[in-house]
Amino acid sequence: MDNCLPTSRPFAAATAVLVLAVLASFWPPEAQGHNITEILEKLPEYGVYNSYMSLTKIADEVNSRRTITCLVLPNSAMSAVAANRSLATTKNALRLLVLLDYFDPQKLHDLPAGTTLTTTLYQTTGVAVGKQGFVNITNVRGGRVVFSSAATGGGSKPISEYTKSIRQIPYNISVLEISAPIVFPGLLDGSPVSGNSINLTAVLETAGCRTFASLIAASGTIETFQAAMEKGLTIFAPKDEAFKAEGIPNLSSLSRSDLVTLLQYHAVPSYAPEESLKAAVDRPVVTMAAGSSGKYNLTVSVQGEDVTLHSGRDSSRIAGTVLDDTPVCILTIENILLPVELFGETPALSPAPEKEKSPSPSPSPSTTAPAPSTVSAKAPSSLALSPPGTAPESAPAVSPETAAGKADDNTPSGVPKVVPFSWLAAIVASSWALLC
């Protein structure tokens, strides 16, 4: 340290601190994921609540959100809510117990002015009327905290009381036990839904999927769909414009068996709303076309809020939700999904004709061979997604540096990109050098 310049030390130290602070602002925080079913699975007193969270797929909605509070009912109270009611009605009751804010015991007892109005998951459905999607939280005498629907009106208000804390991951998820459900007039009045009570063709035609509706009716596929409704059914219905798109095979040339297979490829024999599909990015989605002749699976990718289905030959983004009435879900998609098992892989694109070049001096013999960097690798002919950790045999080897660059380019917007550790080490070393 004898060669250090004393006058430079304060400036160098300040520079080092500033650099590290800037780097820290770009460094991504540690992920704080949560899984409500895993939190409750070892607590048998909430087994009924936990099972309905899975059946209705509310668990997927909870797990996809960053900041959330779950109000949990013990078995006796949850059994009373679900008794003789459809899954759709039970699902709405559960949505009203999910608060889109973080409330731990301390925050509940320190509410400004002793009360607050908070938004619930039910408000995000688009079916809430007035204040049905909001809940009042109030501190009352004796340190008690109660919950009530903001849409109850002037009559006697059903009261649900906070009883104890179950689990908190600040400020990610809070799980609290309450004594009774939060309800508003009419919330639990829904009658059990029979699969045959939904007019599939009418729903599809209203959503702009008339061609798809006519095809499933004419081929008899609608009977298969209706039979699956009782246990669970999700339909990916292409819009009418999708059947007019360029490159779509002539469906009239298909045999009846192949047409039925294609239509069944657009359905899943389970309840899978959009939030549940987002959780399926690491596993295949088995369609109703699956059988001895092939797997007929789909894969899912997510970019921001967009969910895209991939057949291995083509892909289609989910355009919207037409019906979400547990256990039936109908989603519209932008393109027809063509299974590889039926239509084969996408043909390789023909190389574009070379443009005429202006005359140029003949190269010397030593320069006639193209440089290695100008030799293009042949692109894979299949668009099928490879399983995680694998790559197509024809894919060129990618260096770790290139792979890291590509991964960095695919970082979703709003997520800070990772600063290479080597950069941090170099800057710290440089800053330390300034000290000496």
Residue 420 pLDDT: 47
Residue 302 pLDDT: 92
pLDDT digits (tens, 9 = 90+) for 393-413: 333 333 333 333 333 333 333
Whole-number Å distance between alpha carbons of 294 and 313: 15
Q: Provide, rounded to the nearest whole percent, the portion of the chain with pLDDT above 70.
A: 68
**Structural tokens at position 252:** 């009239």
Beta strands 160-169 and 173-178, pairing class: antiparallel
Nearest to 150 by CA among 117, 113, 108: 117
Which residues lie closer than 8 Å to 36 by C-beta, 6 or more apart? 50, 53, 59, 62, 63, 70, 173, 175
Query: 3-class DSSP state for residue 423?
Result: helix
For residue 431, the cross-strand partners are none
Please, where are the H alpha helices in 7-46?
9-26, 36-40
Across 91-105, 146-160, 380-394, the highest mean pLDDT is recorded for 91-105
Torsion angle of the four alpha carbons 185, 191, 196, 198, in this order, in degrees rounded to the nearest 10: -10
- Is 50 exceeded by the pLDDT of residue 245? yes
In contact, 429 and 436? CB cutoff 8 Å: no
pLDDT band, very low/low/confident/very high, at 304 (cuts 50, 70, 90): confident
pLDDT band, very low/low/confident/very high, at 205 (cuts 50, 70, 90): very high
Residue 398 pLDDT: 38
> 103 vs 395, which has greater pLDDT?
103
- Is 50 exceeded by the pLDDT of residue 24? no
Q: What is the mean pLDDT of residues 286-292?
A: 82
- Is 50 exceeded by the pLDDT of residue 329? yes
pLDDT band, very low/low/confident/very high, at 294 (cuts 50, 70, 90): confident
**Structural tokens at position 413:** 């917007």
- The pTM (predicted TM-score) of the whole model is 0.60
Residue 380 pLDDT: 32
Q: What is the mean pLDDT of residues 174-203?
A: 82
Q: What is the mean pLDDT of residues 178-193?
A: 82
Nearest to 228 by CA among 206, 196, 262: 196
Q: What is the mean pLDDT of residues 139-150?
A: 89
pLDDT digits (tens, 9 = 90+) for 106-138: 999 999 889 999 999 999 888 888 999 999 999
Residue 150 pLDDT: 93
Whole-number Å distance between alpha carbons of 263 and 266: 5
H or E stretch at 52: helix 47-55
Residue 158 pLDDT: 60
- Is 70 exceeded by the pLDDT of residue 356? no
In contact, 161 and 145? CB cutoff 8 Å: yes
Phi/psi for 338 (5° steps) reads -105, 110
Residue 29 pLDDT: 42
pLDDT band, very low/low/confident/very high, at 143 (cuts 50, 70, 90): confident
- Is 70 exceeded by the pLDDT of residue 341? yes
Percentage helix, strand, coil, to 5, in the chain? 35, 20, 45
In contact, 145 and 131? CB cutoff 8 Å: no
pLDDT digits (tens, 9 = 90+) for 39-75: 999 999 999 999 999 999 999 999 989 999 999 999 9
pLDDT band, very low/low/confident/very high, at 13 (cuts 50, 70, 90): low
Whole-number Å distance between alpha carbons of 407 and 403: 6
Residue 347 pLDDT: 57
- Mean of per-residue pLDDT scores for the chain: 77
Residue 244 pLDDT: 92
Phi/psi for 332 (5° steps) reads -90, 145
Least confident of 181-185, 329-333, 381-385: 381-385
Whole-number Å distance between alpha carbons of 313 and 335: 12
Determine whether 52 is exposed, middle or buried from the number of CB atoms within 10 Å of its CB (0-12, 13-18, 19+).
Answer: buried
Handedness of CA 31, 32, 37, 42 (dihedral sign): positive
Domains, the chain, with CATH or none = 36-178 (2.30.180.10), 195-343 (2.30.180.10)
Beta strands 233-238 and 297-303, pairing class: unpaired
Whole-number Å distance between alpha carbons of 181 and 51: 16
Q: What is the mean pLDDT of residues 280-309?
A: 87
**Structural tokens at position 186:** 């009419």
pLDDT digits (tens, 9 = 90+) for 163-176: 999 999 999 999 99
Phi/psi for 177 (5° steps) reads -90, 135
Q: What is the mean pLDDT of residues 254-275?
A: 93
In contact, 258 and 296? CB cutoff 8 Å: no
Helix and strand tally (H, E) in the chain? 15, 14
Which residues lie closer than 8 Å to 430 by C-beta, 6 or more apart? none
Residue 350 pLDDT: 45
**Structural tokens at position 430:** 């440089």
- Is 70 exceeded by the pLDDT of residue 140? yes
- Is 80 exceeded by the pLDDT of residue 15? no
**Structural tokens at position 158:** 């059903």
Distances (CA, A) of 111 to 103, 115, 119, 165, 422: 10, 6, 15, 17, 46
Q: What is the mean pLDDT of residues 308-312?
A: 94
Please identify which residue in the block is written with the tokens 């104890």.
Answer: 164
Residue 127 pLDDT: 82
